[in-house]
Amino acid sequence: MPRAVVVGAGVVGSFHAYFALRRGYEVVHVERELTARGASVRNFGLVWVSGRRVGEELEFALRSRALWEEVADDVPGFGFRANGSLTVARDDAEARVLEEVATRGDAGERGVSLLDASEARDVNPAVRGDLVAALHCANDAAVEPRLVPDALRAALTREPGYRFLPGRHVVEVGDAFAADHTGERHEGDLVLVCPGAATSGFAGWRPADAPLRRVRLQMLETEPFGARVTTSLADGDSLRYYPAFDVPALADLPPPAPVVAERKMQLLLQQRLDGRLTIGDTHDYDEPFPVDVDDEPYRHLLGRAEAILGTPLPPVRRRWAGVYSQSITDGLFHCEQVGTASFVVTGAGGRGMTLAPAIAERVVESTGAFTK
């Protein structure tokens, strides 16, 4: 039986382990922490189709969305739900952007339609604040990020061909091997390194030469909200952020609030299965990143969420920051060969949770040809 060594137990590495096992490899899965601690457990859990660029990116996201649903049938405990989303317009300028997106040729494939305020409240009765219109995306979905990597690994652990090695920091990757800090060398017919944003942690690859950057985001979570928020929510500031909204009417949007412009913000809101609200986000592109999380962006995000939900929010329970690795090319992610049968896979950026199953499926299929 061929052996695959997978490094990294975030969502990307865990899905690589899953698809490698399915494709007939014995899998050794190496992680420096005891369990996932990176971007995969710090995100919203949005499986976000609505914002993807028309063409290859949208098709890839739809493939990934289908895989999430398929794997969720196989692996209980993800909290996968096809809850859809509403992107909410607060004024006519934002509504015109949504209208152009809803009438573009890809609207059916994307699963989007334009709703007036009353139709939006029928879809999501928790949206009781001021809105002019909303874009409903039936294809958007959500999972529980704090559960996904462990749930996936728990399912893999029941398979005879899978072995998880936590607490092992890989310090070198070479031709068909990965060596960890204890001195153990993990030989594989295929080596797939999925380090997330920890790109400088091992020898055998020069991340400085790769077209990647790191991005830091601030997030918060409230205590349980008193009502069901039936869809994921985004505000009009997300129109500037996602490539799907690159339509002529975008040029007519008024300038964003100063804090939104400065911290590259948008409101995204996802209710967790226990009722809490995950709210974000900001984007910092310049390193070194701040040590602290700042209050001003949080005040803005909480104000926006209250304006859309039309009611005060429960107290904030916790705040955190996360960092992802992003490809700065037009590619959907970065996959680089670093040895005869060794590859580094990272750089999916702010869509890594959405795309992880499709990335892993594609990488395992395409790198199989290099198997030693």
Ligand X SMILES: Cc1cc2nc3c(=O)[nH]c(=O)nc-3n(C[C@H](O)[C@H](O)[C@H](O)COP(=O)(O)OP(=O)(O)OC[C@H]3O[C@@H](n4cnc5c(N)ncnc54)[C@H](O)[C@@H]3O)c2cc1C
**Residue placing its CB nearer to ligand X in the complex, 63 or 93:** 63
Chain contacts with ligand X (rule: CB under 6 A)? 7-13, 30-33, 36-40, 42-46, 48, 169-170, 194-198, 201-202, 217, 219, 280-281, 322-324, 346, 348-354
Report the alpha-carbon distance of residue 169 to residue 7 in Å, rounded.
9
Minimum distance from residue 39 beta carbon to ligand X (Å): 4
Beta strand ranges found along the chain (DSSP E): 3-7, 26-30, 46-47, 85-89, 112-116, 133-137, 141-142, 162-165, 170-174, 177-180, 185-187, 190-193, 212-222, 232-234, 268-271, 277-280, 316-327, 334-339, 342-346
In the complex, residue closest to ligand X by CB: 352
**Smaller CB distance to ligand X: residue 136 or 186?**
186
Residue 248 CB, nearest approach to ligand X (Å): 27
CB of 26 to ligand X, least distance (A): 19
Provide the residue count of the chain: 372
- Backbone phi, psi, residue 165, to 5°: -120, 90
Of 342 and 346, CB closest to ligand X: 346
Q: Quote the CA–CA distance of 180 and 169 in Å, as a whole number.
A: 5
Q: Are 198 and 38 in contact (CB under 8 A)?
A: yes
Q: Minimum distance between the CB of residue 301 and ligand X, rounded to whole angstroms?
A: 12
**H helix or E strand, kind and range, residue 370:** none
- The distance of closest approach from Cβ of residue 74 to ligand X in the complex, given in angstroms and rounded to an integer, is 19
Nearer to ligand X, 37 or 372 (CB): 37
Q: How far apart are CA 32 and CA 182, in angstroms?
A: 11
Nearer to ligand X by Cβ, of 84 and 196: the residue is 196
